[in-house]
Structure 1
Amino acid sequence: MSWSKLKQQLESFLCPALEGRVEYRAPGYRYSPDKPGICYISVDKKNVLNMMDKTSFIRWYQTELEIKNDPHIQIPISNDDIEAVRKAAKGTVPEDRLQVMARSRISSEYAKELLSAQASLSKSNFIVVATKFLSTSIEESLDSNDILLNILALVDRRIGKKRILTMSEKMKLKHPSVQYFYELRRNTL
């Protein structure tokens, strides 16, 4: 599918409050196999999510340690997580230490998912993910670990006000770019 047709289809799914505010752009007209190209999402004529660009104002993580030390990321720990650590430890470990170990284990898994999602952003991947978004259900896009699928689903007109308001806890565990688009959509309600 050509870029102009894909862009037209994506913009036709934008919620009415974001029409004209959110734009999908790919200024490179020639695709070279050895260069990923430039692709970005702009909000109010400002480049917000620039694929593979570390200079945008959205936080991009470089290492797992940065994610673990970020105070804005709050990872909930369930009793099942603590029990899994207790079984893996095979011994008597203080309860407070079990919580620390469980949090560390979950934050490591979360960091790896976040870094792999960040690493996959490029123009060619944007086109693949956008095409996938157009052919999958909105629920599948929201539940995905893919940053672009989450963003495309959040600005979609098929997501209603009630659903946006009920997913605030779920959004705390997402990449900062997904959180940005969630807040953008929530503020338009």
Structure 2
Amino acid sequence: MSWSKLKQQLESFLSPTLVDRVEYRATSYRYSPDKSGNCYITVDKKNVLNMSDITGSIRWYLTEQEIKNDPDLLIPVSHEEIEAIRKETKGTVPEDRLQVIGRSRKSSGHAKELLSAQAVLSKSNFTVAATTFLSISIEESLESHDILLNILALIDRRVGKKRILNMSEQIKLKHPAVQYFYELRRRTL
């Protein structure tokens, strides 16, 4: 599918409140047929998401420790997870320490997921991901571990106000790029 047709289809699914604010852009190299170019998403004419550039305005993690030490990333630990740790330690660990152990374990797993999703995004081809987005359901895109699919779904008109507002907890566990577009959409409701 040509870039212009793909762009037209993606823009037809944009939320009405974001139509003049969010744009899909691409660069191509005229004399280099093997080079596919660069695709990115702009918000208010500013390049916000460029898959090959991690120096943009959205935070990109370089190590697992950065994710664990990020004060903006709140990882909830459920009562069931605390109980599992209590059974595992045979009740010898103080109550306040159980929370710390649970959060540490969960943040390690979460950090690995975020870093792998980020690595996949930097290597991904925007046109392939966008074509995938257009061919799968909106639910699959929202539940995917692919950052780009999450973003395209969040700014989609098929995701309504109620669903956006109900997603606040699960968005806290997503990459900062996804959180940025979630906040953008939430503020325009």
TM superposition score normalised by structure 1: 0.90
The amino acid across from 2:94 in the alignment is: P
Q: Secondary structure at the match of 1:121?
A: helix
Q: CA deviation at 1:52?
A: 2.5
Change (3 A) 1:58 1:90: same
Sequence identity of aligned pairs in percent?
A: 75
Alignment map for 1:29-44 (pairs within 5 Å): 29=29, 32=34, 37-44=37-44
Which residue matches 2:167? 167
Find the aligned partners of 2:144 and 2:87 in 1 and give their Cα distance: 29
Q: What are the superposed Cα offsets for residues 147-170 of structure 1, whole Å, 9 maximum, x if unpaired?
A: 111100011010111221221122
Q: 1: CA distance between counterparts of 2:23 and 2:117?
A: 21
Deviations 1:83-127 (A, max 9, x none): 333344456222222211111111011111111111112475322
- CA 1:39–1:102 in structure 2 vs 1: closer, same or farther (change >3 Å)? same
- Residue 36 of structure 1 and its aligned partner are, at CA, apart by 6.9
What's the CA shift for 1:49? 0.6
Letter in 2 for 1:94: P
AA aligned to 1:79 is H
Superposition pairs of residues 133-152 of structure 1, within 5 angstroms: 133-152=133-152
What is the count of residue pairs matched by the alignment?
187
Query: Post-superposition shift, 1:76?
Result: 0.4
Which amino acid is the alignment partner of residue 187 of structure 1? R
What is the DSSP-based 3-state SS (H/G/I as helix, E as strand, rest coil) of the residue aligned with 1:75? coil
CA distance in 2 between partners of 1:131 and 1:31 (Å): 21
Encode CA deviations 1:51-104: one digit per residue, 9 max, x unaligned.
Answer: 121210111110000000000000000022223333444562222222111111
Residue 72 of structure 1 pairs with residue 39 of structure 2: no
Q: Aligned residue for 1:119? A: 119
**Structure 2 unaligned spans of 5+:** none
Q: 1:24: which partner in 2?
A: 24
| SS of residue in 1 equivalent to 2:23 | strand
- Deviation for aligned residue 1:28: 1.9
Question: In terms of mean alpha carbon deviation, does 125-134 or 145-154 score higher?
Answer: 125-134
Query: Match for 1:62: what amino acid?
Result: L
Q: Distance in 2 between matches of 1:64 and 1:36?
A: 31
> Residue 15 of structure 2 contacts residue 155 of structure 2 at CA under 8 Å; is this kept in 1?
yes
Supply the distance in 2 between the matched residues of 1:2 and 1:8 (Cα, whole angstroms). Answer: 10
